[in-house]
Structure 1
């Protein structure tokens, strides 16, 4: 449609993570009125961070994605903008192209979300379309109409919302499931004689010393990610047993290791995404799109790119 025939439109985005917020930025820049809905209580999602006080120490944990990288020129430019704004910094311990949020990974999505109308703690239960547009149903009632809706969700959650409105999208999402991940957070009362990003193996996929990241303060806080295979086998285990098992695995590789003063486990059911390799899904004819890293590859950059591509397809 030419600009002369364009009218301001409204869009609802389900999911206020990296993909949804990147999509929102593109739509808003084109003059759309955008509202995002997210069942989380605050910005973060799989880029979550949190402070913890325990044993007389203050710890700060990134407990989702530990860092991000940039290859696409547009995302490289975005990283440069975030660096100038003090939102990200380089983390050499994870590689020359590793970037982290400052003061935590959640700072990136919090910065993005600040520019938009985001309804936190809003779990979308379903969507329907009539002659007036799209309507969303959540626990507080129904909102709409919207000219466009975007599903910026993990593949499994996309299936739930898409099945009644676009079986083709539901089938695509169902074919690219996510892998789970158990994460354990350990706080120690003194620095460990261990590399900031040590070599790991067995049930451990990745381990990182959080205070080694730029802008991350606090005590000796470690994040331990289990492998997808181990996490799948132990998906329904008690948090205490998961924490004990991964602490022991870490201790076996980092002896001597003192007892932690803080231990917690978090289960990510949808951690590492699938890899559809198509960029984004869009039905401009009915004002429907889907985006997320699962539509490209399991990287933070992929989520950002997918969100932009979904917006461009709708516009």
Structure 2
């Protein structure tokens, strides 16, 4: 057998599975986005790019796009930064490390929908855990309407970041465990400070873990639907709507399947535009370092 074709034989099952469960639904969604289909009663009429033209004239969609941009910016910085710090702390052996790990890893057992329910109770005005805590500390002047028009979007982001931080922490812990300790010990023997060890050895060798964590953060920020649905339903006044939630509303509440599919296509393009170049750039950087 020709060795040049051997790898393709191993890849064929994956290609077939992806084509059936991935590529075909994407193509179907793209076709539906070019129609005026309403509900599931039957196929709609072909309308070309009409849905896309209306989409970028829709103030509700543009508002959700703006909110999604805020999500992406916050999700790239907050969960990943906290995760690196937590991973560095819990990797060390000290009294209470197992308790800290349990507290920070607990959100991994919860879906974003459950996280939304928990944090909606935490943010409950007056009787919620956060308000009660601030009152108990004498900091009631800091109390705001957490899910109101001014703080709502950032409050939902904070709740989602709590769970995303747990996921990213596991990824970074795995990355830290893969770093040869001989390199770190040799650097310390040569007189390197903790800061130099982190920025010149630890951080560069965390690139594979960072690629996974950042890609996941981007995808979660773009698709944040469940937590918005359970916490605010996009309110008040659309202040917490994101493109994923807008797609859900147009498709399953307004029954505008063609219009909702158009939003789905836009979300897919946005995800691919952000994630694929980043992953390729990181892969090339790692290839140069290992060659």
Larger RCO: 1 or 2 (CA < 8 Å, sep 6+): 2
TM-score when scaled to structure 2?
0.24
Higher helix share: 2
